[in-house]
Structure 1
Amino acid sequence: MAEWLGDLTIGQWFEADGEPFEVIGIDAQAELVLVQHYDGTLEDYDFETWMALAARPCAPPEDYSGALDIERDDYGERDGISAGRPAHWDNPLDLLRDD
């Protein structure tokens, strides 16, 4: 395996030009890094392209809607609380009856 691939792990997030992306695969034989951008776009990088990219490790985004092509309002999230869902979730097993 190429030495430069040894520092990468699947699931690691990077940022280049202000755009976050996740490493979703590593092809050691072809010396490629497979990534998925926050908007869902898939791309692969060879060594020269990866080095030119100058990607920096970053934290994963808090809002997962980018890859789903939906807005925050579309899935009911509002200030970290889901609309229509009680603030305290009950245990679903409590709904089972003992007959």
Structure 2
Amino acid sequence: MAMGGEPVIGDWYMAAGGDTFEVVAYDPDDQSVEIQYFDGAVEELDLDSWHEIHASPIEPPEDWSGSMDVSREDSGLDDILSAHSLNSPLDDPEL
């Protein structure tokens, strides 16, 4: 996590107003920063605006799915886990 200054793609921050967001793109040549709030809204800031919001690095939220708008059912995680049970491949007589 960056400790102030330039934004780091993939890091989470909290603005002085309390909004939390992840940096999803940063172009130092264009001096633009794209952020995605936890609710999924995306905003592009110029580098001056980035410095004006006084963003402080924070730990990522435990429930990362908020910004992705993905429920457990939509993620397919249950299907993956049931397809890859704890059985050994050697237990399959077809092998």
Q: Which amino acid aligns with 1:21?
A: F
How far apart in 1 are the matches of 2:58 and 2:69? Answer: 22
Report the secondary structure of 2:67's partner residue.
helix
Q: 1:75 offset after TM fit, Å? A: 3.0
Please report the TM-score for the alignment, with normalisation by the length of structure 2: 0.65
Select the structure with the greater relative contact order (CA < 8 A; seq sep ≥ 6). 2
1:93 aligns with 2:89: yes
Alignment partner, residue 45 of structure 2? 45
Seen in structure 2, the aligned counterparts of structure 1 residues 95 and 46 have a Cα distance that, compared at 3 Å, is farther
2:9 counterpart of 1:10 = yes
How far apart, in 2, do the equivalents of 1:31 and 1:54 lie?
Answer: 16
**CA distance, structure 1, for counterparts of residue 50 and residue 58 of structure 2:** 16
- Paired AA for residue 31 in structure 1: Q
Secondary structure in 2 aligned to 1:61?
coil
Moved over 6 A (4+): none
RMSD: 2.9
Q: Is 1:75 aligned to 2:69, yes or no?
A: no
Q: Quick one: distance in 2 between partners of 1:30 and 1:46?
A: 8
Which ranges in structure 2 are unaligned for 5 or more consecutive residues? none
- Matched with 1:62 is 62
Aligned residues, how many? Answer: 83
Among the aligned pairs, what percent are the same residue? 31
Amino acid corresponding to residue 75 of structure 1 in structure 2: R
